[in-house]
Chain A
């Protein structure tokens, strides 16, 4: 005890001396497990975002980063520092996700990541951010395994695939009266994960699975697995995957003998891209998006988004609002732990930031009230289903 209080005194003396000479680095920085991020005056506090900015799901990346930009604009200035969104293209692949994560970790002014957007890249990037102490708040990574890995940095505002699958299976069984279901997925973490969940839930409800096929992304012709599924005469076809492959499947359903079979897509197939690229073939196809409770914040966000970008939110992808609600809690957490040093620099203790993001409580977002569970589930919204009628997405009858 005595030694400790002497050591404490010594430490304080040393720190005071160091502070006098090195410009008042807050003492919390030396105690923090990951140290502090130092933001120089006249530079920005950066928040990273990794998502598919190019390729088949580009609309998702663009849409969500635009939603996040609104949050950055709303954040204004903090102690004379502005915020900045650094959105990079991870191409929706695990390799891209790891590459972007490595780049973000090298940039010391990036303190948090609103991402990644797709489950595969998020999974690959997680261990990299875990080692560097950068908190994540994903707007759209829905795979259930992500929060089961014991990560301290990963959080998400997206609903999980387990919830989405349960809702989808119930809708198919009870509302649409489907008894023979076929499933097809795109072999990614996200697509195969949700297809497995739907299979389990549908069988638990008493339905029959007549086909379960996997396809590879990036091909142009999926008629062979579709023909095989057609031979089993399903009433509906559930697809776990993204717009790109979903569009090809829908366009090939008629020629492979699946005419009259209902196509049911997950949240990765929703958006204007799916509409325009399936055209007449898409009539009657279902997809998944959100219900959001109406609130002042949502109305203000919708107006701001439409004013800035000229299109309504939710058109390009279902996750526009999540883009806002993934970035705003991060900004709030940064504002709560950041300390302005005597030298005018901003010090953000990384470990404290990770904990603060995980402890987000009762944040009033545009998707509802955001409170993070101990494993990082912060979602406020539930999935809703939409169907294409007359060339437009229409909310499906509940």
Chain B
């Protein structure tokens, strides 16, 4: 059996749920094990075991919380030497992307990014052009390294031993060069964007930052809805980055996705095309978003939004 590792992120003691998605897949591919580094790692081991990790290589050392990427890549490289995994899966998140990039240089393995499926221990799949084409890629190297987009697999529990093996790798001083000295969280109100059953999302078509309050009104009228945004309006500084949906940003799979004034750039579509139902409002009838929408309305978002808020209120009566 192939030895398949999942690199699990912990943030302020909390396990990144994407690790459970990856473990669910890793179980199908071979003997699943997990690596988790940083405060809360040992506590996370139990959960990782519940999702199929027979062994959890863990260290609670704060060096992994304080310093970026270098200690993790160093430790992983040591662990690879001791254990010879065949494949390591990472979630396509900020920290993992950095760590996997460095590890690729150390091992000489080609790192595949943005995978949406793992077909076998040596083959993974990604989608391009806004998800219209699927590309199967052969993985090379020892171990093979893949970054998988979050929400590619539905997590399901299947208990394994979850035996903790303490990682005791000495981290050299020259791997402690980029240090986190302050942490700031942006608080969002309402349900979490990546878990909300309805997402109302806005793009350039809203014309100015102030009009985002119409989306917030609509979301609160619908209830249990979260507000998201495209990269274009986040870059323009209209809304915080935490609201960004897409390739960089959050992947969402809500029951209903309402795209307002969003043309449908590839970068955005890969983050939302998994929605069960998509509604699009845009004034350009040629906008790519209409090609994936279940209901499309060609018109002025600023005119339609107040009417829609009213209509929703009436129907809820």
B is a partner of A: no
